Chains A and B, each alone.
Chain A
Amino acid sequence: MSEPAPSTTRVLRKLYLTLFLRGRTSRGLQRSTAPKSVVSKLAVTLLLYTLFGLLALRFQTQGVFMFSFYMHGMTMLFLGMFIATSSGEVLFNKEEGEILLHRPVTPRALLWSKISVLLQVSLWLALACNLISFIAGAIGENGSWMYPVAHLVSTAMAALLCAGGVVLMYQLCLRWFGRDKLENLMTTTQVLMTLGVVAVSQSMPYVMATLGTTGLGSREWWLYLCPPAWFAGFDEVLTGHGSMSSWILAAVAVALTVTIPGLAFWRLADGYQAGLQTLTESVPRRPRKEGKRRWLDGWIDSPPLSWVLRDPMTRAGFRLTAAYMFRDREMKLRLYPGLAPILVMPLVFLLQNMRDGGGLGVVFGGSYLALLPLMALNLLQFSQQWQASDVFRAAPMAGPAPLIEGARLAVLTLLVMPALTVLLLGVLFLIPGGESKLALLLPGLIALPVCSLIPGTVGKGIPLASPSDEAKSASRGLLVMGTMIAALALGGVALVARSGGWYAPFLGMEAAAALLLYLVLKRIVRSTTWPPAE
């Protein structure tokens, strides 16, 4: 007897889990090799999350509330980041409409299957992150055998709330702002959410340190606004340590975990198809007034950019890179969340070091800024339209050097300059006696041109020439960590030089080394040939 067909929801769930594990696009992959590599990446990610969970041991001696507050805070930040970066592609994928919208699939089944996969993976990550805490909470100083059970339930609730919150935000954007603005709005929302999550995560140690000194006995009012505190209250109640405030926090946790996902997954599910349909529509843009030029064209054709961009190929590389940085949804969703740690960290450094004169913050802020072009160019090499880069190869160019230079200049002009302006304003207005600290930005600024050349020398500087799926490679995480360590090392040496009284000679030596390196790297970029075509 023939096996009956599985239910639509089950088929879709299997589909989305497969797509999540393998990525949505592939090139030249054999089935036998594709999933394996992604699964191993996922295993590494889960291991990393488990290792992050080791930080819980630092709070093991604290009470249940403090311990849980930290664990839930960390878990929700990781999950928030994961869901914010994945959900846009998962929930509103343009190509998917062409494949599935004409099939007998209800919008509810489509949304449910996506959310269940998103939740499933979120739970894996949350459990990995909390694995150590389950044990530590049970056998620690203030441990209780009920803690693993309570924390397991509250972790699952937190994952549900995170997923529900993100989906609800998308649904409300769709409902309130209409279809015409949906795509841009989604991009902006997602980018802002990621920046917010990064900013909160970077401030977390500062908040924890403050909480550590003031204690939580008084239950400050603002704790009632912190989602991790709701679930920490839930843990406290279930382990039998709950005070009245814990009961209130636990009640908020339960109420919101029911309400928000309920609204997102049930009440607004019927509008989901409208959102997907919107993406398949080609809404005509309002025609540009005759004679009115795009701001980008105006910039490129005016000094000082027109002086720098005299070579037409470099100018084309600049224009292409800049257009994608500001117009392409997929690029924006990868670029700005990817750069968020580098963009936010200098300001966090400044804020954290305001009280002790701010020197440390200024040095590290400057060093971080130097790494911005390196990270940005690394991300700009990827695009869903990577196959269109064949047009570069067909053009009469000996190599990709002019395009690499154009992309580099676009990043320096359109990303680094504004970030530097914000950092300068931060130093001047946040740091007491900021003017006298400006010289501490120099180590980073001297290193900046060299850093901007590095991607081009290692074959990573050609804009939009690699498939976007390769951007998910685990090596990018290593690159982020590597750049952070390099920034800290540069800042550290500069601080030692300053306290040792040889800051000026240090800057001189750094400038000489940077100039030499710059010339060498520039030469390497100029002689770069096209990578072999697929």
Chain B
Amino acid sequence: MISLRQLTKWFGAQVAVNSLTFDIPAGQIVGLLGPNGAGKSTTLKMLTGMLAPSSGTATICGHDLLTEPMEVKRKVGFVPDSGAVFESLSGLEYLEMIAALYGIPAEAARERIRQFITFFDLSFETLTDKLLGAYSKGMRRKVVITAALLHNPEVVFFDEPLDGLDANAAVGFKALIQTLAKEGKTIVYSSHILDVVERVCDRVIIIDKGEVKVDGVPADLVAAHHASSLEHLFTDLTGGSDLAQKAEDFAKTFRS
């Protein structure tokens, strides 16, 4: 479903993503993990056509990212970590606009929007009366997630999707992506919340400095690296092993 070959991105003289190569089959939920600046968001932005790769190729649903970008964009949904929306539109105006961009007829779009607001426990009045600039962070995130799924994409990329969601919405969201995967959709889930990734994802790819460090089923990876949890494995691989000592040193600055 997703296939990357030597995908690379340079920003000036700095390599952000270095020769990423992996395949993700349909129906799999893949956790993309890495510390800040590891290249996760850049990878997702390249795979969604937001950034042009410096070299390498990728195909999504059989379409080449470079030669068939519009076909790829029709097949994917993306929840960016910024949660950016057009703030001066109401929630309904925003979602109807997004639906129209995918060629969804107005009536069908309205019906899908109703299903999503029921799922996310939003009121229709809020969606019609308030402009998005007045929404809370969580409500805005729900609208962004809805906007990513409205066109029933075959592949969905989530970049920190739980940011701002309340506990109930987060639980509901986790159930939703598992359901989507069961229906054959491919999910790429980038997050810093490791225990959620461990519970939800069939497979994790940890990247650091733009390169794949490990790739596999979470439990297998933990066992293979003799780690007690995915969190320990992550910190070992990405240079975060002496965090307790760093915290102690930090606290010392206040004592002196």
Q: Does A297 contact B (CB under 8 A)?
A: no
Q: Does B104 contact A (CB under 8 A)?
A: yes
Q: Does A532 contact B (CB under 8 A)?
A: no
Contact between A31 and B84, CB atoms less than 8 A apart: no
Using Cβ atoms and an 8 Å threshold, which residues of chain B touch A31?
90, 93, 128-131
Contact between A25 and B102, CB atoms less than 8 A apart: no
Q: Which of B50, B82, B128 has the most CB of A within 10 A?
A: B50
Residues of A170-208 contacting chain B, CB below 8 A: 180
- A34 to B: closest C-beta gap in Å: 6
Q: Does B101 contact A (CB under 8 A)?
A: yes
User: Residue-by-residue, is B37-67 near A (CB-CB < 8 Å gives 1, otherwise 0)?
Assistant: 0000000010011111000000000000000
Q: Which of A98-106, A348-356, A490-498 contacts B (4 or more CB under 8 A)?
A: A98-106
**Interface residues of B toward A: which range?**
35 or more
Q: Which of A15, A19, A28, A277 contacts B134 (CB 8 A)?
A: A28
CA A112 – CA B45 in complex, angstroms? 24
Q: Which of A138-146, A279-287, A336-344 contacts B (4 or more CB under 8 A)?
A: A279-287
Given A18-B89, A30-B130 in contact, is the A282-B11 Cβ separation under 8 Å? yes
Given A3-B105, A103-B101, A104-B102 in contact, is the A15-B12 Cβ separation under 8 Å? no
Using Cβ atoms and an 8 Å threshold, which residues of chain B touch A509?
none
The number of residue pairs between A and B whose CB atoms lie closer than 8 Å in the complex comes to: 122
Residues of B68-88 contacting chain A, CB below 8 A: 70, 73-74, 76, 78, 80, 82, 84-88
Q: Does A11 contact B (CB under 8 A)?
A: yes
Q: Does A23 contact B (CB under 8 A)?
A: yes
Q: Does A526 contact B (CB under 8 A)?
A: no
Identify the closest chain A residue to B106 (Cβ): A3
Contact between A104 and B74, CB atoms less than 8 A apart: yes
Q: Does A29 contact B (CB under 8 A)?
A: yes
CA A283 – CA B73 in complex, angstroms? 25
Using Cβ atoms and an 8 Å threshold, which residues of chain B touch A2?
105-108
Contact between A30 and B129, CB atoms less than 8 A apart: yes
Using Cβ atoms and an 8 Å threshold, which residues of chain B touch A27?
133-134
Contact between A11 and B133, CB atoms less than 8 A apart: no
Contact between A5 and B129, CB atoms less than 8 A apart: no
Contact between B128 and A180, CB atoms less than 8 A apart: no
Using Cβ atoms and an 8 Å threshold, which residues of chain A touch B88?
18-19, 22-26, 29, 34
User: Residue-by-residue, is A364-379 near B (CB-CB < 8 Å gives 1, otherwise 0)?
Assistant: 0000000000000000
Q: Does B97 contact A (CB under 8 A)?
A: yes
Contact between A106 and B105, CB atoms less than 8 A apart: no
Residues of B91-150 contacting chain A, CB below 8 A: 93, 97-109, 128-134
CA A200 – CA B150 in complex, angstroms? 51
Given A19-B86, A24-B88 in contact, is the A281-B134 Cβ separation under 8 Å? no
Given A2-B105, A18-B88, A24-B87 in contact, is the A102-B100 Cβ separation under 8 Å? no
Identify the closest chain B residue to A467 (Cβ): B133
- B136 to A: closest C-beta gap in Å: 12
Using Cβ atoms and an 8 Å threshold, which residues of chain A touch B103?
5
Residues of B1-51 contacting chain A, CB below 8 A: 11-12, 14, 45, 48-51
Using Cβ atoms and an 8 Å threshold, which residues of chain B touch A100?
101
Q: Does A274 contact B (CB under 8 A)?
A: yes
Identify the closest chain A residue to B50 (Cβ): A101
Contact between A99 and B12, CB atoms less than 8 A apart: no
Contact between A103 and B73, CB atoms less than 8 A apart: yes
Q: Does A389 contact B (CB under 8 A)?
A: no
Using Cβ atoms and an 8 Å threshold, which residues of chain B touch A32?
129
Identify the closest chain B residue to A286 (Cβ): B12
Identify the closest chain B residue to A31 (Cβ): B90
Q: Which of A4, A29, A30, A105 has the most CB of B within 10 A?
A: A29
Q: Does A95 contact B (CB under 8 A)?
A: yes
Using Cβ atoms and an 8 Å threshold, which residues of chain B touch A96?
84
Using Cβ atoms and an 8 Å threshold, which residues of chain A touch B80?
98, 102
Contact between A103 and B98, CB atoms less than 8 A apart: yes
Identify the closest chain A residue to B90 (Cβ): A31
Using Cβ atoms and an 8 Å threshold, which residues of chain A touch B14?
284
CA A3 – CA B103 in complex, angstroms? 11
Using Cβ atoms and an 8 Å threshold, which residues of chain A touch B89?
15, 18-19, 22
CA A378 – CA B106 in complex, angstroms? 44
Using Cβ atoms and an 8 Å threshold, which residues of chain B touch A180?
12
Q: Does A217 contact B (CB under 8 A)?
A: no
CA A28 – CA B133 in complex, angstroms? 7
Q: Does A97 contact B (CB under 8 A)?
A: yes
Q: Does A6 contact B (CB under 8 A)?
A: yes
> What are the 8 closest A-B residue pairs judged by CB atoms, nearest first?
A26-B133, A102-B48, A22-B88, A98-B84, A11-B100, A101-B50, A104-B73, A2-B107
Binding site for B on A (CB under 8 A): 2-6, 8, 11-12, 14-15, 18-19, 22-32, 34, 95-106, 180, 274, 277, 280-284
Seed contacts A26-B131, A98-B84, A101-B50; 4 additional CB < 8 Å A-B pairs: A23-B88, A26-B133, A26-B134, A100-B101
30 pairs of residues in contact across A and B, judged by CB atoms under 8 Å: A2-B107, A4-B105, A5-B102, A5-B105, A11-B100, A15-B89, A15-B97, A19-B86, A22-B89, A24-B86, A26-B132, A27-B133, A31-B128, A95-B82, A96-B84, A97-B50, A98-B80, A98-B82, A98-B84, A99-B84, A103-B102, A104-B70, A104-B73, A104-B102, A106-B70, A180-B12, A277-B50, A280-B51, A283-B11, A284-B14
